[in-house]
Amino acid sequence: MPETPDQPLRILHAVRAPVGGIIRHILDLANGQAERGHHVGIIADSLTGGERAAAALEEIAPRLKLGVHRLAIRREPHPTDFLVWLRMMLLIRRLKPDVLHGHGAKAGAFIRMKRRSRRKIRIYTPHGGSLHYPLDTLKGAFYSRLERALMNNTELFLFESAFARDTYQRTIGIPKGLVRCVFNGVTADEFDPVVKPADATDVAYVGEFRHIKGADLLIDAVARLRTDGKPVTLTLGGDGEEMNALKAKVRELGLTEAIRFIGHIKARYGFSKGGLLVVPSRGDSMPYVVIEAAAAGIPMVAANVGGIPEIFGPHTDALFASNSAGAMADAIETALADPATALARARSLRERVLIHFSQKAMVEGVLAGYRGAFADR
């Protein structure tokens, strides 16, 4: 730790895939830490993220005194992992960070494979990651053993939800290091209202097209509603590995006139394209899209999974059973039939997010965690 309390920390964030909510979290955190005078850097995979990740990292780079560094970090275990880890260790030796903050399973493992040091603390934020794999699968068993082996190589665990913390402690164990729960947070401009255009559909989805995100279930729910005589329309904003499969599903169900794809878009633009946001996730920890939509005052229904109930608080009447197109269809029908109630709930939820899920509170909570970990040493 710096020799004097007013000396800035040297903080290095590491992540494998610079996509989705995880990179959004790191960018907001890094910006907030840099604004407070700390020297911050980011290590991220160079194989994923494409032009969007490159642009986002290029934009933040001038504010990061430890710079932005890209390494080829593969998702699955790979023969090149040892060489990548060596390159990361050489980078750490050159940058001399006080705080090594690993985000997600792969980067978290690399950071915690570094030897304990009197001057550095190792931080781990899982962001779901390996915790999504069932323990009775080969991958689940492998990752749980690896997590257990590295558990006590960690001075601080920072979980973005009580759900993630409890899942980790139930499936992996109780760490010796400090454990803190700090909610994800959004910036002040995200509380501005969103204007809905004339071409908005009844329902919108914003997110990645991956199995765990459940966009296929939402298509099934819309098909069910239309079969029941309710002409619901849907806008799907996003991209990902299931894009072609989802488009084929829409064609097979004869829903091309009812469901449109608008590609990858900014979240707030996506929110404007529907009267009701639906979050159909099969699994999630603390999804940014829910916090962003709540901040913007968007009427919303969501799956009752992960940390989503922690965001909704007293408004759990808007949550439906996960992995069920029928339950989702019922929730959509209820919300569309009573827009006044859905809007009143959205306004109340906006106030809750303003208090508990701000970027300022997130940055301060993470820095307090760092200080606690140094004090424990």
For residue 107, what pLDDT is reported? Answer: 96
Beta strands in the chain (DSSP E): 10-15, 39-45, 67-71, 99-103, 121-125, 156-159, 178-181, 201-206, 234-237, 259-261, 274-279, 300-303, 319-320
For residue 136, what pLDDT is reported? Answer: 73
For residue 315, what pLDDT is reported? Answer: 95
Q: How many CB atoms lie within 10 A of CB 312?
A: 22
Say yes or no to pLDDT of 130 above 70: no
Say yes or no to pLDDT of 328 above 90: yes
Tell me the pLDDT tens digit for each residue of 180-220: 999 999 999 999 999 999 999 999 999 999 999 999 999 99
For residue 4, what pLDDT is reported? Answer: 54
Count of all residues that appear for the chain in the document: 377
What is the value of pTM for the model shown?
Answer: 0.86
Distances (CA, A) of 274 to 205, 251, 300, 350: 8, 21, 10, 18
Report the C-alpha gap between 322 and 280 in whole angstroms. Answer: 7
Q: Which CATH superfamily is domain 189-356 in?
A: Glycogen Phosphorylase B; (3.40.50.2000)
* H-helix or E-strand spanning residue 28: helix 20-35
Report the C-alpha gap between 208 and 205 in whole angstroms. Answer: 9
In this structure, is the dihedral angle defined by the CA atoms of residues 14, 18, 20 and 25, taken in order, positive or negative?
Answer: positive
Say yes or no to pLDDT of 3 above 60: no
What is the pLDDT averaged over residues 16-35? 94
Report the C-alpha gap between 309 and 349 in whole angstroms. Answer: 12
Q: Do domains 10-185+358-376 and 189-356 have the same CATH topology?
A: yes
Is there a contact between 206 and 270 (Cβ–Cβ < 8 Å)?
A: yes
- pLDDT-based confidence at 132, cuts 50/70/90? low
CATH topology for the 10-185+358-376 domain: Rossmann fold (3.40.50)
Domain boundaries defined on the chain: 10-185+358-376, 189-356
Tell me the pLDDT tens digit for each residue of 48-67: 999 999 999 999 999 999 99
Helix ranges restricted to H, 313-358: 325-337, 339-356
Is residue 278 classed as helix, strand or coil in its secondary structure?
A: strand
